[in-house]
Chain A
Amino acid sequence: MATATRYMGRPLKRKEDPRLIQGLSHYVDDLRLPDMHYVVFVRSPHAHARIRSMDTSRAQTAPGVLAVLTGQDLGNAVGVIPCAAQLPEMKLALRPPLATERVLFVGEPVALVVAVDRYAARDAAELVEVEYEPLTPIVDPEKALARGAPVLHPQYSDNVAYRWELEGGDVGAAFQKADKVVRQKMVNQRLIPVALEPRAVVANYKPGENKLTVWSTTQIPHLLRTQIAAALGVPEYIVHVIAPEVGGGFGSKLNVYAEEVLVAHLAMRLGKPVKWTESRRENFQATIHGRDQIATMELAVKRDGTLLGLRCHILADLGAYYQLLTPLIPTLTGLMICGCYKIPAVRVEITGAFTNKMATDAYRGAGRPEATYFIERAIDMVAAELKKDPAEIRRKNFPKPKEFPYATPTGLIYDSANYPKSLDMALKKSGYRRLRAQQAKLRRQGRYLGIGLSTYVEICAMGPSSAMPAGGWESATVRIEPTGKVNILTGASPHGQGQETSFAQIAADLLGLEPDDIHVVHGDTAIVPYGIGTFGSRATAVGGTAVYTALVKIRDKLATIAGHILQEDPQRLVFRDKKIFLKSNPAKSVAFAEAVGAAYIAKALPAGMEPGLEATHFFEPSNFTFPFGAHVAVVEVDPETGEVHLQRYVAVDDCGNVINPLLVDGQVHGGIVQALGQAFLEEAVYDENGQLITGELTDYAIPRAWDVPRLETARTVTPSPVNPLGVKGVGEAGTIGATPALVNAVVDALAPFGVRHLDMPTKRERIWQLIRKFKPTGSRPATKRVGDGRGRRGRRKR
């Protein structure tokens, strides 16, 4: 049965949009239940302190207060916060949902207030008195590992959470053979995810039915349900989790948080519906952070630029406790450290450190942006050292297209790729040669253009269960209603990615229907079979494949029914235009709805066939997928102020086959701009006392519309052999590929000032310092003023 691709591959506008553009959709904080009460948490102002005493008596009697609880009051009613990751000899760091004896980071909850509305709860929270005995905060991960450093978890002798190693090939020999070794320490700074919707939880318990319903801003409703049941010690079947409209996640909602289990507990304990909504400050302090790795990279190279070996030590600042996947993220960096290059020998050592900060965890890219940044910066340094063009060093070390599937020394199998093709396209599209000529000309005028390249490979479609902490498959059910309308129930849990549309496109093509005939349901554990969720660029490649396979099952059944009606071989039937017909004789047909009806009326089904039309598939991928691409960034640095102006951005990405190009473009744009945030603007800064001084959006800059030029995107298409759709995934490619391209461009711009590396974010003041402190061996480069230095911002003249 051939599948016509009438909708797959087309830029269909989204089915989810009408409700969103009219303000008619419902995010968690939009929910209102009768007699609903509101929760406010009392949080630690200290990074590290012993709790001497807590007095809730004044808060208890404040107007409108229903309950005030501390960790002592909870006793054992709520279990510890789960971590799914297990590494050999990893130290456990069990976090109680409310701190009882010690607080280990600013923002750690110590008590909670439940009141009739948020204003009353907020007022009463002010009245909870907590006496702390401050302890020495451990903020710097390098100092945390120093001999004699104070220990964060007193049951251990040091602050090492775990050590993890990976080696492939003969690393010693590679470094001995090398003509040159390029070394650099690089910081991939701590970031705050800033999903625009803060987290929120609503819970309601009905004792008669023994049903606990929890609405949460989550990317993983089913896993959350399991963990809530475990933490509360109740059977899973009483817990119903709904992820309604979710306003972005980027990994920050791929977790099980203290607030989620506590609010669920409160609903049962108090017998009232309760709601908690995070403030942005709480979001900054107590929702997971991303990145925070310090790497020391060493590349062994031959004089001609051939890479021989790589050594990398990564120090990962994990924060005070683990969240769901905390320890695992740096290991993804280790696995992907070779990037898209043939490096025969590799050794990676990772040390995870405990510090008095919020936990790091999966933030868009989760380990891969770090790996890509480290290797792509190092490659640029190799090029600079050997005085070769960075494009040529890259090309020289690519595995050739015919070498795929390609096994890396870190133990991965890259599924399919054509790296030279995407690099060529990016160079051509950007006019790379002309840019280099322009750069040389402008430098003579005292203007500093920088051209940055990045060729990346990433790991998507997370992933085979063998490589995942808690299952890597995904589920789908296709249920065709008696009227011929189709429900797709997916275990993926989209929160902006648009799978209500793209899955409908797949179904419309497979069943010969229109996308409007298809309805995609997600995020409701009472409706959808157990699923894993949306993260790791997996929704289309794993979730979509589950949908596809379930559709094939149902189509086969319908073909059998139609064949029975038409007295034809089902193999020779085609689904199109809401009909099922003989390929060689379209006049011989049965309406789709008629065949569906036959399955339900069940009077004339083929012998032995089950009535009804429902198929479920749990898809287990055989491997990850490995999208790739080549990016070119063009920046100009104002030498007087250190300001960086992004002038052009060219991205060529290959995410395999594309279901909906509009959605892919959207993912790529968003990812690039988020990368720009990391490269130029964002950094979560804790001071020496462990206070988060970038505590609000007034101090933590994320990109605005005027920070970005029009992005120039293109695609190559190398289908993945790992799944029948040939798709790879694209949700994180932008943050992975773009960050190094942007920083490489800035460093390239600063090359005349002897700059070889610059840590992120490439802040104006740092650049200004580098330029100012440059002591030339020859003549100092001109820093002729660039007009009045007005860049992007300044050009916005009235």
Chain B
Amino acid sequence: MGVVIQMRVNGKTQQHEVEPRLLLVHYLRDVLGLTGTHIGCETSICGACTVLLGGKAVKSCTLLAVQADGADVVTIEGLAALGGNGGLHPVQEGFWEKHGLQCGYCTPGMILAAVELLQTNPKPKEEEIRRAIAGNLCRCTGYQHIVDAVQYAARKMAAAKR
């Protein structure tokens, strides 16, 4: 038995009939083809599946697509549009500048977790950054360049506001 759901994903309204058990991450990846959101652990530990739901970072592997009915979802593919300058979002830029990624698999989720952090705390200390991304595992970088990337983005966003 299908359920019709409608949501805005990266600014575009989507409507589909889905099985109620369909996970949001599978909806994004398999139905909408937005494969930038990854699946790393399925137990809501690793954060690779992080997307913004109503502006808040959530783990889309532990969420049914039907639970997001009516919501506003941003995935990594739609993030640049939030950056406001037509190019990369400052957090994306930070990850590039500071070598904040290696294999890239955790990166979309990591970037979105950092975006939420900077929305609520524009000048985070290193410890605050490390805590904010504790729900996102990276096996490649040792996190240091990720911290640098978030700090870069914070500076960049602060400068843009001035």
Q: A and B touching (C-beta < 8 Å)?
A: yes
**Inter-subunit contact B95/A197 (CB<8 Å):** no
Which size class do A's interface residues fall under?
A: 35 or more
Bound-state CA distance A23–B19 (Å) is: 26
B12 touches A (CB below 8 Å): no
Alpha-carbon distance A698/B62, docked complex (angstroms): 14
Report the minimal beta-carbon distance from A522 to chain B, rounded to whole angstroms.
14
Asked whether A674 is an interface residue with its Cβ less than 8 Å from the other chain, the reply is yes
Q: Assess the B105–A22 pair: CB atoms within 8 A.
A: no
B side interface size, CB within 8 A: 60
Contact of A666 among B42, B108, B145 (CB under 8 A): B145
The reply on A662 being an interface residue by CB < 8 A is yes
Stretch at the interface among A11-19, A415-423, A718-726: A11-19
**CB-CB < 8 A to A704: which residues of B?**
134, 137, 143
Binds B, one of A24-32, A155-163, A286-294, A772-780: A24-32
Known: A697-B46, A704-B134. A669 touches B105 (CB 8 A): no
Are B99 and A14 in contact, with the CB atoms below 8 A?
Answer: yes
CB distance from B101 to the nearest CB of A (A): 6
Q: B85 near A: Cβ within 8 Å?
A: no
Q: Mark B87-110, 1 if CB is under 8 A from A, else 0.
A: 010001001110101111111100
Is A247 part of the contact surface with B, judged by Cβ < 8 Å?
yes
Q: Does A729 sit at the interface, judged by CB under 8 A?
A: no
Q: Which of A34-60 contact B (CB under 8 A)?
A: none
Is B77 in contact with chain A by the CB < 8 A criterion?
A: yes
Compute how far the CA of A668 lies from the CA of B21 in the bound complex, rounded to whole angstroms.
Answer: 42
Whether B40 contacts A196 by the Cβ 8 Å rule is yes
B154: interface (CB < 8 Å): no
How many whole Å from B151's CB to the nearest CB in chain A?
A: 11
CA distance A408 to B102 in the complex (A): 35
Judge whether A670 and B139 touch: CB under 8 Å: yes
A607 in contact (CB, < 8 A): no
Among B1-9, B64-72, B122-130, the one that faces the other chain is B122-130
CA distance A668 to B144 in the complex (A): 11
Asked whether A13 lies within 8 Å of B142 as measured between CB atoms, the reply is: no
- The answer to whether B104 touches A710, judged by C-beta atoms less than 8 angstroms apart, is no
Given contact pairs A21-B92, A247-B38, A32 touches B33 in the complex (Cβ within 8 A): yes
CB of B41 within 8 A of chain A?
A: yes
> A119 an interface residue at 8 Å Cβ cutoff?
yes
CB-contact partner of A196 in B30, B46, B96, B99, under 8 A: B46
User: What's the least CB distance linking B16 to chain A, in Å?
Assistant: 14
Count A/B pairs, Cβ under 8 Å. Answer: 182
The answer to the question of A269 belonging to the interface, with a C-beta cut-off of 8 Å to chain B, is no
**Chain A's nearest CB lies how many Å from the CB of B10?**
10
Q: A22-B77, A706-B134 are in contact. Are A248 and B46 (CB under 8 A)?
A: no
**B34 at interface by CB-CB < 8 Å:** yes
* Contact A247-B39, Cβ < 8 Å, known A662-B99, A710-B126: no
Q: Does A151 have its Cβ within 8 Å of any Cβ on chain B?
A: no
The smallest C-beta distance from B85 to any residue of chain A, in angstroms, reads 15
For B77, list chain A residues within 8 Å (CB): 22-24
What is the chain A residue whose CB lies nearest that of B91?
A21
Per-residue CB proximity of A249-282 to B under 8 Å, as 1/0? 0100000000000000000000000000101110
B-side contacts of A13, CB under 8 Å: 96-97, 99
A497 at the interface (CB under 8 A from B): yes
B75 contacts chain A at the CB level, 8 A cutoff: yes
A705, B129: Cβ atoms under 8 Å? Answer: yes
Kindly list chain A residues whose C-beta atoms are within 8 Å of the C-beta of B41.
280, 696-697
Contacts of B36 in A (CB 8 A): 22-24
> Is B118 positioned at the interface, with any CB of A under 8 Å from its CB?
no
CB atoms of B40 and A25 under 8 A apart: no
A589 shortest CB reach to chain B, Å: 35
Known contacts A498-B102, A670-B102, A705-B130: A196-B137 contact under CB 8 Å: yes
Query: In whole angstroms, what is the CA distance A706 to B35 when docked?
Result: 28
Chain A residues within an 8 Å CB radius of B80: 22
Does B146 make an interface contact (CB < 8 A)? yes
A795 to B131 Cα, complex, angstroms = 11
Interface string of A703-716 (1 = CB under 8 A from B): 11110101100000
Check if B37 is an interface residue, CB within 8 A of chain A.
Answer: yes
A106 sits at the interface (CB 8 A): no
User: In chain B, residues 28-68, which have Cβ atoms closer than 8 Å to a Cβ of chain A?
Assistant: 29-30, 33-43, 45-46, 48
Indicate if the CB atoms of B104 and A25 lie closer than 8 Å. yes
Cβ contact within 8 Å between B142 and A673: yes
- Determine the chain A residues whose CB is within 8 A of the CB of B130 once the complex forms: 705-706, 708, 796
Query: A732 to nearest B CB, angstroms?
Result: 13
Q: Which residues of A contact B35 (CB under 8 A)?
A: 23, 26-27, 29-30
Residue contact A17 to B145, C-beta cutoff 8 Å: no
Are A708 and B102 neighbours in the complex by a CB distance under 8 Å?
no
Are A21 and B95 within 8 A (Cβ)? yes
Q: Give A520 Cβ to nearest chain B Cβ, in Å.
A: 16
Q: Chain A contacts of B33 at CB under 8 A?
A: 32
In the complex, how many angstroms separate the beta carbon of B35 from the nearest chain A beta carbon?
A: 4
Q: Is the CB of B140 within 8 A of A670?
A: yes
A673 adjacent to B143 (CB under 8 Å) = yes
Q: Is A20 among interface residues, defined by CB-CB distance under 8 A?
A: yes
Query: Which residues of chain A have C-beta atoms less than 8 A from B139's C-beta?
Result: 194-196, 248, 250, 670, 674, 702
Write out the residue numbers on chain B whose beta carbons fall within 8 Å of the beta carbon of A698: 43, 45
A697 contact from B103, B134, B137, Cβ within 8 A? B137
A198 vs B102: C-alpha distance when bound (angstroms): 16
Q: Which of B37, B43, B101 has a CB less than 8 Å from the CB of A20?
A: B101
Contact check, A27 vs B38: say whether CB atoms are below 8 A apart: yes
Query: In this assembly, does B73 line the interface, its C-beta being within 8 Å of a C-beta of chain A?
Result: no
The 8 A CB mask of A778-795 against B (1 = contact, 0 = none) is: 000000000000000001
Cα distance A117–B126 in the bound complex, in angstroms: 43
**With a CB–CB cut-off of 8 A, which chain A residues contact B107?**
20-21
A22 B46 Cβ-Cβ under 8 A: no
Known contacts A23-B75, A669-B142, A711-B142: A29-B43 contact under CB 8 Å: no
CA distance A46 to B64 in the complex (A): 32
Whether a CB of chain A sits under 8 angstroms from the CB of B138 is: yes
Q: A666 — which chain B residues lie within 8 A by C-beta?
A: 99, 102, 140-142, 145
Question: CB distance A280 to B43 under 8 Å?
Answer: yes
Say yes or no: is A536 at the interface (Cβ < 8 Å to chain B). Answer: no
Apart from A498-B102, A696-B41, A706-B134, what are 19 other A-B pairs with CB-CB below 8 Å?
A: A18-B88, A20-B104, A21-B76, A21-B111, A23-B34, A23-B75, A119-B21, A194-B139, A196-B139, A280-B41, A668-B142, A669-B145, A670-B102, A670-B141, A674-B142, A698-B43, A704-B143, A705-B134, A706-B127
A-B contact list, 25 entries, CB within 8 Å: A17-B104, A21-B92, A21-B96, A196-B46, A196-B106, A196-B137, A197-B40, A197-B103, A197-B105, A198-B39, A246-B103, A277-B39, A665-B99, A666-B99, A666-B140, A670-B142, A673-B143, A674-B139, A697-B41, A697-B45, A704-B137, A704-B143, A705-B129, A705-B136, A708-B130
